[in-house]
Structure 1
């Protein structure tokens, strides 16, 4: 016991601590937005690991001293390395409540080493009961008054994380790694993280997913819409921080998704671009003041150097901030305008569809009224929220003109447009034609309202298994649906759709008909017949065959042929129509290929 006490005192007296930095990644911009400062003890010491180090310090009532030493060493190293991104510094709420806690000590350290407080996020970690929320709230307010932002660490691991979140209203909240590990295979964890993201959006808070170790975990949190991530998948903590994230950690499909043609001829970011001449981030504040003074219509100034945007200056914010200072232009006039930049601007590729731009901005809950539009990462111009809203509204109205009134899914016009776009861009896709079996007899017996419910059940089954990232669903009339699959696992999705529909359909029949396996009613000739339960038939055209077609008309013909074959099979079934090219003439022939495992999926 005494040996450990001597060891921790020797470390504190000799300042024998080494800061490490782990990058925090902006998933929207695919780059490092900040670093978490982490501490290690001497490599030859039993207190090398942070767990042993902090546990021992707590045991001997040295937690406050250790924490401030960690803070000093981390800030000094951050300043020496001239890091431009934000620094996340860990702080224990219990330490904040200790009598020896010195208010303003962190600000004094930053001033000593020349670090802007706006670069620092105080990361509060809470693993033990702490009931004094008033002091916690006052501490957070005190830090913010000095220019710090607040992050709440390990949400879900502490005793009162949600209460603290509501009390402190932090700018960032970090989800405990327990909920990130394996979340792609765990519906409970997925729902938990989705809920946290939803709450964060409503509270204007950014979520950071900690502990990402695999590509699957990364894809899952990105799909949820989380804006920031941290973990070994990107980089481990290092003494010399990683300066740039290798693009290989971002799967190709995520990097290039926005470059595929938008649905229904939707406009892209380039269509709302404003060509605003940028200025250098080194421009003096007084020169910026003159620009605004001589141009009353100028409201936005992008900061660009070497074709890379580093910030956006908004007229109202600039003037308010400048003249809120006691000495205003006299004090700040010679400083570069980059000192007025608080956040890295959101950059959107010119080819990103408007709906995806809207989703990205919504997930970030940014207060900025504008964003940068880029071409392969280089500055092109500015997009504004007002222009985005106007274009998105126009697009939604246009889509609604062709939507099916029952399911609100796109009709034949936008579906045909989408097919033609994919063909023109030579992007592989498969095509599915979904049709109900024994639907008319069901309508005759149960009524049209019940029939509408089944049609909506088909739409639900399709939307559950085909996300906007993996395809487009259309309702072209009656009980006919179309799915354009842009994913590689289209066949598996179809099989899952059929299985889902098979399990759903009994709920629309009475017990007698379920037991009988169908209904007795008249056929079209007026004869009494037995009709099995409603089922779903799918005619499919594979990606190789769609790629050989000239237009949506050719694909529709192949899909209709496949659907007719599928309907000859009892129960929920599918049939694939594969079109092969004749080598000698280059003409297209239609050839049907069967597979017992692929045709008749479920009865």
Structure 2
């Protein structure tokens, strides 16, 4: 997973009967006693109903400071499961310099209202969305949008319930800022003495910035909330290309940005200097901070672009690494990145079926890590060349499109990744155990066989095929088209498997699948790991739909459901 930066610790909910005040005091005392790095935050789940008293936020902030924790490092996690959250509550906590995380985001009541009507500091994604996400493309699509929505408003996302490395990698690629769960460290992960309060690590992403992002990213000197208005105006007068300057706290975390348009009165007025010095205005940098689109620089390019595209009136994109400011990207560079992604995607997609191709397959196999079961399937048509010769290429294309439709439907139903290698070769991967994937494959082959029969003449359907010349010019009988499948199941508990070895094993099993009566051939993981496979990692290199070259690594791996910890 890489070297992970500790962003904070999450306190477990209080035991039954323990008063909230006493529990929070114990959590703060234990957290402070651990001697953690400055800026590390304590996340405490709190029932919103305990904040009905308007004096509670101020008392909580005073409690934190009294016990040695800056109020800004105390994050209250509020869930809308028991009571609807309100923007007024978030505002009231912010006024006391308390941070707010919308817990269980996507499953509570009032969360969207708080996101749009207030400025929460974090979105905490419910385990319902994050558990098993590596093999669930529908969940990936939902989470990508939730993360992008938060990033567009400058709110980082936290994934909870992360138990496998595959899920962690997927959440990192989708742009999630932090993670928490058994994979990261359970309740015993908190250093220090034992006690009635248990805390668990919330960590950073632990990934390097991709070279292309680093090329387009520009360094920028941020503002501090303590800077004077004179300092801010002076910075803009020096010539800030992006029209905004990020504001960070003492730990380098992005608080928002100051926009040039909010300072035009001071920048372009003859009396600007006098207005700045006017004590009656009492303006500070903190008064000018507004949300701005923020994305993790180590996320997938699609996630970075999504954060910018959904932001209202974006002037640029702030990039972070491990939760700290890394740099900025201009609108021009974001659009350039978008164009490059679109071109790369178009090149990889099959022109007939519009399914992703070889580059996406390799990418998918590389990131389908251990911890989640997968069944990888290679499909190839039987008797397709003879059909093309007898009925023409146009009718052959219709058969290919019919199979693509059947495969796409299976992908939608089971959250799988599907791809068109080229010609009549297809690839699929379903997050299913072996028996379930076997059943799905059988149904898929049967559905296609029924559709393929409709492309034959009534005489050929009745006869079960037709006579024609084979590739050697000899007359023989060709049965109706069917699809053959090679299956390889990858259990959740498995060693890392080289994607090239998977490709080679699937290609090698194609002949056995075509020779099988049922059109299925299964390859065991034991055989694969034992070296019972052909050397090389390429599909066959013939096919009218374009060359079937070996897998080529590309930055993007399109999924069937397009995307867009507390570890960075």
Instruction: Pick the TM interval, shorter chain.
Output: 0.5 to 0.7
Matches of 1:563 and 1:502 in 2, distance apart? 16
The equivalent residue for 1:506 is 446
Q: Does residue 85 in structure 1 map to residue 43 in structure 2?
A: no
Q: Does residue 121 in structure 1 map to residue 66 in structure 2?
A: no
Change (3 A) 1:51 1:513: same
Matches of 1:183 and 1:559 in 2, distance apart? 25
Deviation at 1:163, TM superposition (A): 2.5
Deviation at 1:32, TM superposition (A): 3.0
Aligned residue pairs: how many? 466
Change (3 A) 1:68 1:402: closer
Matches of 1:197 and 1:389 in 2, distance apart? 19
Deviation at 1:347, TM superposition (A): 5.2
The equivalent residue for 2:297 is 348
Matches of 1:270 and 1:220 in 2, distance apart? 21
Within 5 A, what are the aligned runs for 1:205-244? 207-212=157-162, 215=165, 218=168, 226-235=176-185, 236=187, 238=190, 240=192
The equivalent residue for 1:535 is 483
Deviation at 1:503, TM superposition (A): 2.4
Unaligned runs of 5+ in 2: 267-273, 364-375, 455-459, 489-496, 524-532, 538-568
Q: Does residue 52 in structure 1 map to residue 16 in structure 2?
A: yes
Q: Does residue 438 in structure 1 map to residue 383 in structure 2?
A: yes
Correspondent of 1:162 among 84, 108, 123: 108
Within 5 A, what are the aligned runs for 1:236-255? 236=187, 238=190, 240=192, 255=207
Question: Is contact 2:485–2:510 with CA below 8 Å preserved after alignment?
Answer: yes
Unaligned runs of 5+ in 1: 1-26, 40-49, 55-65, 260-266, 419-430, 548-554, 581-603
CA deviations over 1:80-121 (Å, ceiling 9, x no partner): 8684134434432332336x9656434555676797655443
Question: Is contact 2:292–2:314 with CA below 8 Å preserved after alignment?
Answer: no
CA deviations over 1:109-166 (Å, ceiling 9, x no partner): 56767976554433225675x5xx59x554334334555443344569xxxx532434
The equivalent residue for 1:4 is none
Matches of 1:186 and 1:545 in 2, distance apart? 17
CA deviations over 1:254-274 (Å, ceiling 9, x no partner): 857x87xxxxxxx82234233
Q: Does residue 369 in structure 1 map to residue 316 in structure 2?
A: yes
Within 5 A, what are the aligned runs for 1:507-586? 507-510=447-450, 520-525=464-469, 529=477, 531-536=479-484, 567=514, 571-573=519-521, 576-578=533-535
Deviation at 1:393, TM superposition (A): 1.4
CA deviations over 1:502-538 (Å, ceiling 9, x no partner): 4213224459979x99962323249794615512367
Give secondary structure in 2 for the equivalent of 1:524.
strand
Within 5 A, what are the aligned runs for 1:395-406? 395-397=341-343, 399-400=345-346, 403-406=349-352
Using structure 1 for the length normalisation, give the TM-score. 0.53
The equivalent residue for 1:32 is 6
Within 5 A, what are the aligned runs for 1:147-546? 147-153=97-103, 162-169=108-115, 171=120, 172-174=122-124, 179=128, 183=132, 195=142, 198-199=145-146, 201-202=148-149, 207-212=157-162, 215=165, 218=168, 226-235=176-185, 236=187, 238=190, 240=192, 255=207, 268-274=212-218, 276=219, 278=221, 285=228, 286-287=230-231, 289-295=233-239, 297=241, 299=243, 314=257, 316=259, 348=297, 354-355=301-302, 357-358=304-305, 369-372=316-319, 382-397=328-343, 399-400=345-346, 403-409=349-355, 435-439=380-384, 450-457=398-405, 460=408, 473=419, 475-476=421-422, 478-481=423-426, 500-510=440-450, 520-525=464-469, 529=477, 531-536=479-484
Which structure has the greater CA radius of gyration? 1
The equivalent residue for 2:494 is none
Question: Is contact 1:200–1:206 with CA below 8 Å preserved after alignment?
Answer: yes
Matches of 2:123 and 2:236 in 1, distance apart? 37
Matches of 1:216 and 1:393 in 2, distance apart? 29
Matches of 2:225 and 2:88 in 1, distance apart? 37
Deviation at 1:562, TM superposition (A): 8.0
Give secondary structure in 2 for the equivalent of 1:84.
coil
Deviation at 1:304, TM superposition (A): 11
Question: Is contact 1:226–1:363 with CA below 8 Å preserved after alignment?
Answer: no
Give secondary structure in 2 for the equivalent of 1:52.
coil
Deviation at 1:301, TM superposition (A): 5.7
Q: Which has the higher helix share?
A: 1
Question: Is contact 1:372–1:383 with CA below 8 Å preserved after alignment?
Answer: yes
